[in-house]
Chains A and B, each alone.
Chain A
Amino acid sequence: MKLHEYQSKRIFADHGVPIPQGDIATTPEQARIIAEKIGGKVVVKSQVLVGGRGKAGGIKLAKDADEAEELARQILGMDIKGLTVETVLIDQAANIKKEIYLGVVIDRALQKPIIIGSSEGGVEIEEVAKTKPEAIIHLPIGIRTGLMDYQARNLAHDLGLRRTHITQFVGIVEGLYRAFISTDASLAEINPLVVTGEGKLLAVDGKIVLDDNALFRHPNLNKLRDIQEETPSEREARKIDINFIKLDGEIGCMVNGAGLAMATMDITKHYGGEPANFLDIGGGAKADKVTAALRIILDDPKVKAVLFNIFGGITRCDEVAKGILEALEQVQTNVPMVARLVGTNEEEGRRILAEANIPTASSLGEAAEKAVALARGV
């Protein structure tokens, strides 16, 4: 789950990281009041969960409160990569002398948290990794010792910071690391961390991505979820514990198991179709779950055919077949379907579907081919 910039920065601030004076507004009038309170130049920043806000015109500098109000009026309601701006952050503008990147992630290979630093701040770190990999510093952290002061000092030196900034910097790195650990984040990032003309360090932009699997122990963070992060169908699916990701194609897929669901998408593409979604109904799915999943798939008007691919283990093929029929009683549709059911109780499952005139296939390749043909109306 992603947090907004303002949410992330407030968490950083709680851990001792200095952030610009600022507040959020949902109306231009609020934006003016905040800007007046700050005084002087402010930045009006759209709060949407996508990258590239600046390029899309969602971040603007205002010279005074009048302009802040005007810019907030423009930015609020703006569409950025399909997301509507509902909130703007009004931050005091910083006098930027130097921009640094600072992030914490889990290194999968080392199986440790790793702090990433770069003197090339203010741009996406993936971009720096491509164009100037030598400018990126990796600092693995022992989970039991935590970040040591000397590691933060070394990082400061490697980033070319002046001696007068080192104490401040060490405090910021430690705060960022603590924020990462205490929120069970999978990413905590300050980009840029700026050195101001006044010689202060300031986290001008920030981002936290939380580990969904750890949200059970962070009920307060769970409340920060922005519903725009998911499509309505993805949200519906999450509530009933189905893994669903909306894609752009015309073949709806219902599969048990994540790996098999990915393979099913790949094979659909291999036979000339485009998958409309990733959907894993999980192990042991019963009729009600199949019904809910089918409803979610058919909510997408682009879907021209549905492909069921079930490898019965814990999941019983007859249960899934019954689920498909139950779903079809409740969801009226003309979308053609093909089912491939193998494993536990497959004969019974196929018999149930045959009686309802739903075509079946024995191999995954055959099923995908049939689904693609059905989608084309063949």
Chain B
Amino acid sequence: MSILVNSNTRLIVQGITGREGRFHTLQMKDYGTNVVGGVTPGKGGDWVESEGGNIPVFDTVKESIAATEANTSIIYVPAPYAADAIMEAADAGIELIVCITEGVPVLDMVRVQSVLRQTNARLIGPNCPGLTTPDEAKVGIMPAHIHQKGSVGLVSRSGTLTYEVVQALTDKGIGQSTAVGIGGDPIIGTKFIDVLELFENDPETEQVALIGEIGGTDEQKAAEFIAKHMTKPVTAFIAGRTAPPGKRMGHAGAIIEGGEGTATEKIAAFEAIGVKVATLPEEVATLIAERM
């Protein structure tokens, strides 16, 4: 097992003919992800060339599902069109939608979430690196070579920090069940607690690494959830201890507002319930290794 993506994933790529979309489509296919098609309005009937077999392009998500039985979508369309792309995928019946796009307006995401809450679709992101279940499926933009199959589940608001921790785990010979980047925006489809619950219920996952950062209170909510519902050990890292208040630190969601959302209060929330918090990203791997 694993969570969310695996060898049964049948992936379509929305925005497949764009520069990023095309590049990462080929990377994902190389990794072994079952990429069954792509969608670019107006480019239906085209093909994206790939060594492992050319990939058909459709005009609409609906049409792509009819032709390929896709169950997962990844979105690389530019920010102004991202909300439309997410809702199109949800409306067509895609179960898992992964939105890589950065810079989606917050109110667009508020509208998207108000619709998605009434469907069965799950959204990961936006502004996220996607997710990888090693040796089965990579649905995202993470570098492939850092992953190794194993039993640590990883969930993170940051892209490169995810890679950093995955690499540190792999360097110690510790593999991952699934690594999920949930995104750095203030409004995201899947939060820490959603992924923690999935890991708790996944027989293959034995430990969880959680990588948070300043802004919002999702880490505090995660701490509450862990205390109440989790039997598996969680190790955390929180970025932004030195971040000044009132400034957005790259991620739209990484901002200390009105004195709230500081790294200190998040670290305290985890330590209060006995979750170990690493000082350095690579120390996450050390703390996890100690418990194996």
Chain A interface (Cβ < 8 Å from any Cβ of B): 106, 108-109, 111-113, 125-126, 129-130, 142-144, 181, 184, 186, 211-214, 216-217, 243, 245, 247, 255-263, 265-270, 275, 278, 280, 283, 311-314, 342-344, 363-365
Contact = CB atoms under 8 A, between A and B. Distances in A.
Contacts of A125: 258
B252 A243 contact: no
Contact of B281 (A217, A243, A263): A263
A259 B244 contact: no
Residue among B80, B109, B237, B243 with most chain A CB within 10 A:
B243
Contacts of B108: 214
Contact of A211 (B106, B158, B159): B106
15 contacts: A109-B218, A111-B114, A144-B111, A213-B103, A213-B105, A217-B105, A257-B159, A259-B162, A259-B250, A260-B160, A261-B250, A262-B213, A262-B240, A275-B242, A313-B143
A364 B217 contact: no
Interface in B106-160: 106-111, 113-114, 141-143, 146, 156-160
Contacts of B253: 108
B239 A245 contact: no
Contact of A312 (B143, B186, B214): B143
A212 B253 CA distance: 12
A106 B249 contact: no
A364 B244 contact: no
B282 A186 contact: no
A361 B36 CA distance: 42
Interface residues of B, number: 58
Interface of B: 79-80, 103-111, 113-114, 141-143, 146, 156-164, 167, 184, 186-187, 211, 213-214, 216-218, 221, 237, 239-244, 247, 249-254, 258-259, 263, 279-282
CB-based closest 3 A-B pairs? A259-B158, A258-B250, A257-B160
A107 B27 CA distance: 37
B14 to A, nearest CB: 19
Given A213-B104, A313-B159, 17 more contacts: A109-B216, A111-B109, A112-B110, A113-B110, A130-B259, A143-B107, A143-B114, A184-B107, A213-B103, A216-B80, A259-B156, A259-B213, A262-B240, A266-B239, A266-B241, A311-B160, A344-B143
A265 B242 contact: yes
Contacts of A113: 107, 110
Nearest to A244: B250
Contact of B214 (A106, A184, A262, A269): A262
A365 B280 contact: yes
Contacts of B282: 363-365
Contacts of A283: 141, 159
B158 A257 contact: yes
Contact of B164 (A181, A186, A268, A364): A364
Given A109-B221, A143-B110, A313-B142, A343 B163 contact: yes
A265 B281 CA distance: 12
A258 B250 CA distance: 5
Contacts of A266: 239-242, 263
Contacts of B251: 258-259
A256 B162 CA distance: 12
B80 A217 contact: yes
Nearest to A342: B167
Given A108-B187, A111-B113, A312-B143, A211 B107 contact: yes
Contacts of A142: 114
Contacts of B281: 260, 263, 364
A213 B161 CA distance: 23
A184 B163 contact: no
Contacts of A112: 110, 114
A314 to B, nearest CB: 6
| Residue in A109, A263, A283 whose Cβ sees the most chain B Cβ within 10 Å | A263
Contacts of A312: 143
A111 B113 CA distance: 7
A260 B211 CA distance: 11
**Which among A212, A247, A311 has the greatest number of chain B C-beta atoms within 10 A?**
A311
Contact of A262 (B79, B106, B239): B239
Of the candidates A260, A280, A283, the one having the most CB atoms from chain B within 10 angstroms of its own CB is A260
A17 B104 CA distance: 29
